[in-house]
Amino acid sequence: MQKATEPVVSPVSSAQESRGQKPLRIALFGFGTVGSSVARILVESKPPELELTHIFNRNVARKKADWVPSSVTWSEDADAVLATDVDVVVELAGGLDTAGGWVRKALEAGKSVVTANKKLISYQGIDLERLAAARGGHIKYGAAVAGGIPVIPGLEQGLAGDRIERLEGILNGTCNFILSKMEKGEDYATVLAEAQKKGYAEADPTEDVGGFDARAKLSILMRLALRVQVNPDEIVPTPITAITPVDFSYARDLGCTIRQVARARRNNGDLAAAVGPMLVDLRSPMAWSQGTENMVIAGGHYAGDVVFSGHGAGGHPTAVAVVSDLLALAHGSRRVEIPSAPAKIGTEFDVAHYIRFLVRDKPGIVAAITVGLAEEHINIRAIVQKPGYPADALPFVVTVEPCKSSALRRALAKVNEMDCMISPPLDLQMLE
């Protein structure tokens, strides 16, 4: 006869034990799009493990909302909030210096931190994790990449048993919104204005359209998936600003569309990474991503490709990831310690390229381009010219066989010196 056993009690965090399993006290730093969504979830869902006690924001009077319980303290004094008995600081203000100072003070005081600050984690994440461990707290940042898509928990836990060798993804919802709208015929300026109106893009959209946001996120994923610590500044992004409707027209003729893609690969010790607009085959899952959706494809040595997909921009999706991190802390979850080592990006992708030229037409242009490419040992795959464009502003496309981007840049620099060139050639990688 089997002996009766005592019921198993799930472990809780030491902070909860010391307070008699009272809810974690939460201080929210930043009450913008994401911060107000986090507060809304906490107020409406009322998770018993969590209690919103403080909201910090500059010029806080203009931010106060009547739906926030009267028990919540509003403040514009960050140090005063950090000096209280809150258990977790949720940092959603963004940026490096000021926000980084708040996070460090919180961790030094033994508090835990939840953040969506991809720039802070990409540049200082390792140091902050060490500080948290030394002071007995935790730092979680599941919302820093891909909004509400659980990419970071998936890499830390679900794929920890595999050896990830390749990452490809759409990591910026703003760019995906712009490019998927342009795919349907709209022009860049009109779509950008719409993105700004909807709150997807800032008044200065450089971080998004210039690729800097995506490269910060890529460097975080590289540490978790490829186990390498890379300075984000090593990844030189290509902006999406040079893409025009004619590029989508030519891309369709080639069976492709255009997306801002962040990609990295580790192979036999070689590490490559790139961020920028690229041609994506229409059969690829990334071609199906529309609007503010994000997508990450992790290529494992054993399990093959795993795809994460969902909404990556906007307050509610990101807030879901933040609250999920808070609930994980409330139930005693720690960050998974994944070993990683400093690394340098030391190689390039060997990949086919799409090159769009805009010229004043005259005899000999294609021959000169062919010579310039041949000097760098680059083979032409196809030349495509659509009818109906004027001879004094003629766009046409050359695709080339896989080659190093540096070799192609050298070739195009010489080609660009031709007096028929109206603008520098547009060079996009082609994912195959």
The CATH number given to whatever domain includes residue 276 is 3.30.360.10
CA distance 184 to 247: 12
Helices 315-330 & 33-45, crossing angle to 10 degrees?
Answer: 50
pLDDT at 296: 97
pLDDT at 198: 87
CB atoms within 10 A of CB 307: 12
Distance (Å) of CA 394 to CA 150, 202, 356, 389: 45, 34, 10, 6
Query: Does 159 share its domain with 288?
Result: yes
The answer to whether residue 13 scores a pLDDT higher than 60 is no
CA distance 20 to 103: 26
Give the model confidence (pLDDT) of 397-415 as tens digits.
999 999 999 999 999 999 9
Beta-carbon-side half-sphere exposure of residue 3 (alpha carbons within 13 Å): 2
**Is 1 a domain residue?**
no
Tell me the Cα Rg of the chain: 25
- DSSP 8-state symbol, 374: H
CA distance 93 to 316: 16
Query: Does 53 share its domain with 102?
Result: yes
Band (73; pLDDT cuts 50, 70, 90): very high
The CA-based dihedral angle spanning residues 182, 239, 155, 287, taken in that order and rounded to the nearest 10 degrees: 30
**Is 255 a domain residue?**
yes
Query: What is the domain-level CATH number for residue 410?
Result: 3.30.70.260
pLDDT at 202: 87
Query: What is the domain-level CATH number for residue 22?
Result: 3.40.50.720
Average pLDDT over residues 88-104: 97
Q: Which of 118, 140, 181, 217 is catalytic?
A: 217
Q: Are 328 and 160 in contact (CB under 8 A)?
A: no
Give the model confidence (pLDDT) of 26-53 as tens digits.
999 999 999 999 999 999 999 999 999 9
**Is 78 a domain residue?**
yes
Distance (Å) of CA 251 to CA 182, 243, 244, 397: 12, 11, 11, 10
Distance (Å) of CA 127 to CA 110, 119, 131, 134, 262: 15, 14, 6, 11, 24
Cβ neighbours of residue 18 under 8 Å, at least 6 residues apart?
A: none
Query: Does 133 share its domain with 53?
Result: yes
Q: Which of 288, 323, 342 marks a domain boundary?
A: 342
pLDDT at 21: 77
Give the model confidence (pLDDT) of 269-327 as tens digits.
899 999 999 999 999 999 999 999 999 999 999 999 999 999 877 789 999 999 999 99
**Is 6 a domain residue?**
no
pLDDT at 15: 46
Give me the count of residues in the chain. 432
Query: Does 209 share its domain with 267?
Result: yes
Query: Does 239 share its domain with 293?
Result: yes
Question: In terms of Cα–Cα distance, which of 200, 151, 204 is closest to 173?
Answer: 200
The answer to whether residue 234 scores a pLDDT higher than 90 is yes
Average pLDDT over residues 201-219: 96
pLDDT at 7: 39
**Is 3 a domain residue?**
no
Query: Does 59 share its domain with 94?
Result: yes
Its pTM surpasses 0.85: yes
Query: Does 216 share its domain with 290?
Result: yes
Give the model confidence (pLDDT) of 348-357 as tens digits.
999 999 999 9
Q: Catalytic annotation on 217?
A: yes
Q: Are 30 and 94 in contact (CB under 8 A)?
A: yes
Query: Does 272 share its domain with 361?
Result: no
**Is 257 a domain residue?**
yes
| In 263-398, alpha helices (H) | 315-330, 365-375
Query: Does 197 share its domain with 222?
Result: yes
Domain that holds residue 231: 151-314+337-342
pLDDT at 20: 54
The answer to whether residue 18 scores a pLDDT higher than 60 is no
- Count: domains in the chain: 3
Angle at CA 168, nearest 5°, toward 162 and 173?
Answer: 125
Q: Are 234 and 218 in contact (CB under 8 A)?
A: no
Query: Does 128 share its domain with 40?
Result: yes
Question: In terms of Cα–Cα distance, which of 116, 46, 129 is closest to 334?
Answer: 129
**Is 252 a domain residue?**
yes
Q: Which of 118, 140, 162 marks a domain boundary?
A: 140
Q: Are 297 and 179 in contact (CB under 8 A)?
A: no
Query: Does 368 share its domain with 418?
Result: yes
Q: Are 375 and 408 in contact (CB under 8 A)?
A: no
**Is 327 a domain residue?**
no
Q: Given the structure tokens 């195009």, which residue do they identify?
A: 412
- DSSP 8-state symbol, 421: B
Query: Does 76 share its domain with 183?
Result: no
